[in-house]
Amino acid sequence: MAHAHATILSILSAGFEENTYLAQLEGRVDCLVVDPGLEPGKIFDVLDGRGWTPAAILCTHGHADHIAGNTALKQRWPDCPLVIGAEDAGKLTDPAGNLSAGYGLSLYSPPADRTVEEGEVLEYAGFRLEVRDTPGHSSGHVVFVALDLKPVQVFGGDVLFAGSVGRFDLPDGSFAELKRSIYNKLFVLPDDTLVFPGHGPATTIGEEKRDNPFVGLDADFEG
C-alpha cells in the first residue's frame, strides 16, 4: 500500500465553505467520506458518478458544518460506520454542542458507530489511518494520518489551514492547545506531507512550518 495511488476529491459546501473529502485507492470501488458537509446531494452525485461506495464516514470533529451530511449518508448506507473522536462524540446529537443552535438550527447527526482516540489505527477502503488527538479548535478534534501513502496525507479538519489555523474562540477552543497540537502532532510529520484542511486549499507541512503567521518560523510560540 505504500505506493498505492490515492484519489482525493474535495466537495465544497455552501454556507461555511467546508470541504468534504472523498478518498479512494486505485483499483477499489469503496472509499472514505471525510467530514460530510451541508450539501450531501453533491456527495451523492460524485459517488454515483464514479461508482464508489463509502466504507466509512470519518468526522474530524463534531461541529455542524462537518457533520451535517451524516444523516443522509447513514440513511442511504446504514451499515457504513460513522467514526469520530471520543471527546466530540456527544456533539453529534447535541445542537448546542455542535454549534448549530447558535445559527437558529437544530442539527442532529446519528450517533457514532465507533469512537477513536490517540494512536488507534483504522483500516477502511484499503487505507491505514493513524488517529492523532488535536484539541484546540474543538476539545475532541482528531486528525486522520495516512502514513503509508507517499507523500504522507492528513485529513486535518479545522486545525491547520493554508496560511492560518482553526478558530480557537469557540466554547471548548484554546489557542495554546491548538498550537501544541500543530507542533506536537503535525509538524513532526515530513515536510512534504499533504494536509487536506476543513476549509480552504490543501497545503504541506513544510509550507506551514516556514510561512504560517500563527505557527510558522516567525511566529512567537511558547509550548
Residue with cell 473522536: 85
DSSP for 85-110, written as a single string? EGGGGGGGG-TTTTT-GGGT-----P
112 to 9, 61, 192: CA distances (angstroms) = 24, 12, 32
Domain tally for the chain? 1
Domain-located, residue 104: yes
* Structural domain that includes position 134: 6-211
State how beta strands 194-197 and 203-204 pair.
Answer: antiparallel
Residue 218 forms part of a structural domain:
no
pLDDT the model gives residue 2: 43
Cβ contacts of residue 174 below 8 Å, gap of 6+? 135, 136, 168
What CATH number did the domain enclosing 60 receive?
A: 3.60.15.10
- pLDDT of 218: 81
Tens digit of pLDDT for each residue in 56-97? 999 999 999 999 999 999 999 999 999 999 999 999 999 999
217 lies in some domain = no
Q: Is 155 within a domain?
A: yes
Q: Which residues of the chain have pLDDT under 50?
A: 1-2, 223
On whether residue 222 sits in a domain, the answer given is no
User: Which cell is 135 given?
Assistant: 484539541
What is the model's pLDDT at position 217? 86
In a domain, 216, yes or no: no
CA-CA distance, 37 to 18, in Å (whole number)? 6
Instruction: Name the β-bridge partners of 204.
Output: 194
Q: Residue 42: its pLDDT value, please?
A: 97
